[in-house]
Structure 1
Amino acid sequence: MAVAPRLAALTEQLLGAALPLRLRAWDGSETGPPGGPVIVVRHRRALRRLLFKPGELGLARAWVAGEIDVEGDLYAALGLLLAPIQAERDIPPRQKLTIARELVRLAGPAAPVPPPPPREEVARRTGPLHSLRRDRQAISHHYDVGNAFYELVLGPSMVYSCAVWDDDTDTLEAAQTAKLDLICRKLGLREGQRLLDVGCGWGSLVLHAARHYGVRAVGVTLSEEQAVYARERVAKQGLGHLVEIRVQDYRETADGPFDAISSVGMAEHVGAARYREYAERLYGLLRPGGRLLNHQIARPPRADESSYRVDPFIDAYVFPDGELAPVGRTVTLLERAGFEVRDVESLREHYALTLRRWVHNLEARRAEATRLAGAGRARVWRLYMAASALSFERAGIGVNQVLAVRLPVAGGPGLPLRPRAWTERGTVQERTQRPERPERQQPAAPARAQAQEQPH
């Protein structure tokens, strides 16, 4: 009997529903509804992976190794498959045994031997969870894969977080500039203030803040490759008198107080067990009345929070040791650390648009991406970004900017009476097309006495 119908029958037993798209097997046989995307099982080794790691991790390994692929619209295929795969249907033990026996027959004589994981899978992690050493290992796995690869995916902005879109925004670069400027306005940055950017990436935010707001900015990252790239950008733009890039954990930063702190797409790496420590550490680095902008991906709350498990594909291939929390928990822990939370803005739909642009960049230059990072790494990125875009679109996950203030507020004009006024203060183009500030040989004097100024 041809392989494809047998695979389809097994898949339908696992999903508890009819296979929603066409399937092609390694012997050339096909089955399923025509006219849509096609799942291609290129090698029987994919079935061996499922035998030893049933579920999402086995499928992910087969995808990364190129043993499973999609022909046609990847978004459409994932949209049809994600919900039933993630449902984790409870299959009776006798049916599981029947499925396993059929998988063994289809997998061939090598089935008793587990295939080694693709080399892109994170190596064995050492040390306690979210210790300084282990966090450095996790960050290096994801970010130290070549700056040229990130340039290809992220585009000229080199911003690896959710952009902010308007109806008339037509480029990813404009949307990322809008996000950077929105953060600066929410933080109320003024010339001469000190800004700490926790998890500064390739330096885009500190460069924007220094060039357009005249702040003295410190960016910290655990990625050596990011730091090298960011320092080159600082030097090229002549902002060395205002911007410092450090390879440093935020827990090792000790030269506060800062007038403002930004943490954009970094808190997801902190972990639930360490989040209170994270919030208290940032609180201690701010001056009284200083502002924190915490930009963080969130998941929906669960009735039983103890049932939350990190996504196995993301943990093994994308963000090792990363954890998502509901936005309510984030707000609560910031408040317990002493912050007053002043504004929470959801940007969920914006991240879906951003991810689709990143996927487009990758697919438009897939051969070059493969050359730069390897076929497996390029496949990891394509799958995780496309699946994440769908999750944001369907509210499976969200992203929020939380603006908080360190108490006590030491006088001064404070925040605007209507905090969202920062979204009404002219366009980003008006702000960023003004004449550049003249370079100064010496850093501007600190302006800590100006507590809580109105946003620019």
Structure 2
Amino acid sequence: MAETRTVAERLTAALAPILGVDRLPVRLRAWDGSVAGPSEAPLVVLRSPQALRRLVWARDELGLARAYVAGEIDVECDLYAPFAALTARGRLAPGESPAPSLGDRLQLVRTGLELGVLGREPPPPPEEIRVRRYGRRHSRGRDAAAVSAHYDVGNDFYRLVLGPSLVYSCAVWDDPAVGLEAAQEAKLDLVCRKLALRPGSRLLDVGCGWGSLALHAAREYGATVVGITVSQEQAALARKRVAEEGLPDAVEIRVQDYRAVDDGPFDAISSIGMAEHVGRAQLPAYAATLGSLLRPGGRLLNHAISWVGESTGPNDRTFIARYVFPDGELVDLADMIGALTSGGLEVIDVEPLRQHYALTLRAWVRNLEEHWDDAVAAAGAGRARVWRLYMVASALAFEVGKLGVNQVLLHRPGGAPPPLRPDWLRAGK
């Protein structure tokens, strides 16, 4: 008599080709309790047939993400483990990977039919972002809506994830043992030194977040700072922090698009983790706008994530676009430098920080997991799962070199020539 395969065994056979592997590098437990796969492998749990329905209707990363965000797929191990296994072998791996064949997709449908679990396409989890439907891409209104979708999920939630520094960009680690707060302090100080801030310097901080760089520049370097963001929640907390530190005369926080700033010139401009929201086609205009706000000899520091080896265009079918950064576009370093210099700015220095971001993301994941119950209370279980998934996946992408992050320092020609690199490497202020 033919051997009857369990639900888990059928799922394992059907999912392997969809994920681009000969055999699943994870151990799978199905909703009926059956288990299949290597005993030593990371354990992935399909808690509901709904997870399979999502994969039938969305046979790419979006189906997996929807099932995870909804709690229909879970892991009973370190989330890095199954991701690392699939990143090493399958369609989650960096680089080009062919889509599942028609035969592979039909096999997944047949498996669902055999198990009697197919049905209508499930609605996406409520955390899925639909900003793409509103207005022209990268118009001021749509950009504000896209930023709000990511950043206005609750300041209490971000405090738990980011820690007391409230810095939402790559830290600079002298050593992994220094800890996140010290590493973020080092990054803020590095930015200020690269921008050659001095008492009385006028700084424009584009995408100022919760005001951490603005506060550091005013407190430690005596700069006068204008910080701009289009997030209402960020601005509210940033203003509160400015007042608490007694710096209202030195730091102004505005809810303002960078395209609306008209009170230059500034001695320096920082743009930390903001250019990813601009859009590749708009980058030359972005650089020209910021360059026009600099005095001759003034400096711009652009700190941005890159998709290594290529630039990404708009793609609304990805997990990141639907759940994390709607309308975000990552630009390869060469394309970014080309755009930044197209309006006459000159490059002074380029510094890659890829490995530093991997350490930063792992620290944020630890914060989230250590405060999981509070994070769920602050933003909901689905939103907490979104952040955990995207930060784990991003950490691995930085570690294997698919994602990079770079600080490009430029100046507007005129005035004295820029000094050599030691002016921001030396200790002291």
Q: TM-score range, shorter-chain basis?
A: over 0.9
Q: TM (normalized to structure 1)?
A: 0.89
Q: Deviations over 1:282-303 (max 9, x none)?
A: 011111110000000011224x
* Aligned residue number for residue 116 of structure 1: 123
Distance 1:290 1:324 in 2: 26
CA change 1:147–1:92 in 2 (3 A) is: closer
Distance 2:104 2:195 in 1: 57
Query: 1:334-349 alignment to 2 at 5 Å?
Result: 334-349=340-355
Query: 1:282-361 alignment to 2 at 5 Å?
Result: 282-302=290-310, 309=315, 312-361=318-367
Segment of structure 1 superposing worse, 184-193 or 115-124: 115-124
Deviation at 1:63, TM superposition (A): 0.5
Distance 1:186 1:294 in 2: 11
Distance 2:247 2:423 in 1: 29
CA change 1:357–1:121 in 2 (3 A) is: same
Distance 2:409 2:379 in 1: 36
- Whether 2:424 is the aligned partner of 1:416: answer no
Distance 1:206 1:67 in 2: 42
* Aligned residue number for residue 112 of structure 2: 103
* Aligned residue number for residue 241 of structure 1: 249
Deviation at 1:97, TM superposition (A): 2.2
CA change 1:98–1:311 in 2 (3 A) is: closer
Question: For residue 12 of structure 2, what is the amino acid of its counterpart?
Answer: A
Give the counterpart of 2:15 among 11, 17, 42. Answer: 11
The answer to whether the 8 A contact 2:59-2:105 is kept is no
CA change 1:184–1:310 in 2 (3 A) is: farther
Deviation at 1:107, TM superposition (A): 5.7
Question: For residue 100 of structure 1, what is the amino acid of its counterpart?
Answer: V
* Aligned residue number for residue 275 of structure 1: 283
Q: TM (normalized to structure 2)?
A: 0.94
Distance 1:286 1:276 in 2: 16
| Structure 1, unpaired ranges of 5+ | 432-455
Give the counterpart of 1:22 among 27, 30, 42. Answer: 27
Partner of 1:292, secondary structure, is strand
Give the counterpart of 2:384 among 366, 372, 378. Answer: 378
Distance 2:176 2:373 in 1: 32
The answer to whether the 8 A contact 1:48-1:107 is kept is no
Deviation at 1:16, TM superposition (A): 3.5
* Aligned residue number for residue 371 of structure 2: 365
Distance 2:314 2:48 in 1: 33
* Aligned residue number for residue 44 of structure 2: 39
Deviation at 1:106, TM superposition (A): 3.1
Partner of 1:85, secondary structure, is coil
**Runs of 4+ residues deviating >4 angstroms:** 305-311
- Whether 2:244 is the aligned partner of 1:250: answer no
Deviation at 1:76, TM superposition (A): 1.5
Question: For residue 232 of structure 2, what is the amino acid of its counterpart?
Answer: E
Aligned residues: 419
The answer to whether the 8 A contact 2:375-2:384 is kept is yes
CA change 1:92–1:193 in 2 (3 A) is: closer
Partner of 2:178, secondary structure, is coil
CA change 1:169–1:98 in 2 (3 A) is: closer
Question: For residue 123 of structure 2, what is the amino acid of its counterpart?
Answer: P
| Structure 2, unpaired ranges of 5+ | none
Distance 2:157 2:199 in 1: 34
Segment of structure 1 superposing worse, 324-333 or 85-94: 85-94
Distance 1:353 1:142 in 2: 22
The answer to whether the 8 A contact 1:16-1:89 is kept is no
* Aligned residue number for residue 404 of structure 2: 398
- Whether 2:56 is the aligned partner of 1:51: answer yes
Distance 2:356 2:281 in 1: 29
* Aligned residue number for residue 232 of structure 2: 224
